Amino acid sequence: MTLREHTPGEAAALADGKPGDLDWIDGVPGDASIGAAGMTARAAAAGYYRSPWGTFAILRAEDGVALGSIGFHGPPAPGEGEVEVGYDLSHSARGAGWATGALRLLMEWTAERPEVHTVIATTEPWNIPSQRVLLRADFSRTADRGDLYVYQRAATGA
């Protein structure tokens, strides 16, 4: 699998539900992929977007089909060293290890960034598949944030 960063223009189109030049496994991106692209597009429109701290398409290596997306909720705040990640797979891609593989790839990349020391992710208590992805990618559950479970992992040593 490979990850391909969405440019701000691609993210804006994706946020409008347009698949762009990607061949999505289910014909269209998932709702959470559209939402994440919207975050990137809004950050770019407000002048806050910094590449590569946006969203990436998760592509199947053998044919380039887009299976979902993964990315950051934004860049690390100066001096804080923490980033939050999120991911989404199209329905047809779920249950085959793609999210775990994509998260591991993103963690390998993050480990090379000295400005990042901690990566976090949140999930709803009912989202057991997402919690399993996080555990398989060596995240540990920490203190909850309201109704969300929080998982974290050191960025180094991926």
- Determine how many CB atoms are found less than 10 A away from the CB of residue 27: 9
How would residue 157 be classed by pLDDT, with cut points 50, 70 and 90? very low
The torsion region of residue 74 among left (phi > 0), alpha (psi -120 to 50) and beta comes to left
How would residue 138 be classed by pLDDT, with cut points 50, 70 and 90? very high
Residues 47-80 have pLDDT tens digits of 888 889 999 999 999 999 999 999 999 899 888 8
**Domain-by-domain residue ranges, the chain?**
2-154
DSSP 148: B
Residues 74-114 have pLDDT tens digits of 899 888 899 999 999 999 999 999 999 999 999 999 999 99
Over range 3-15, report the average pLDDT: 92
How would residue 127 be classed by pLDDT, with cut points 50, 70 and 90? very high
**Distance, CA of 17 to CA of 111 (rounded, Å):** 32
| The CATH classification of domain 2-154, taken from the options 3.40.630.30, 3.50.50.60, 3.30.413.10, 3.40.50.620 | 3.40.630.30
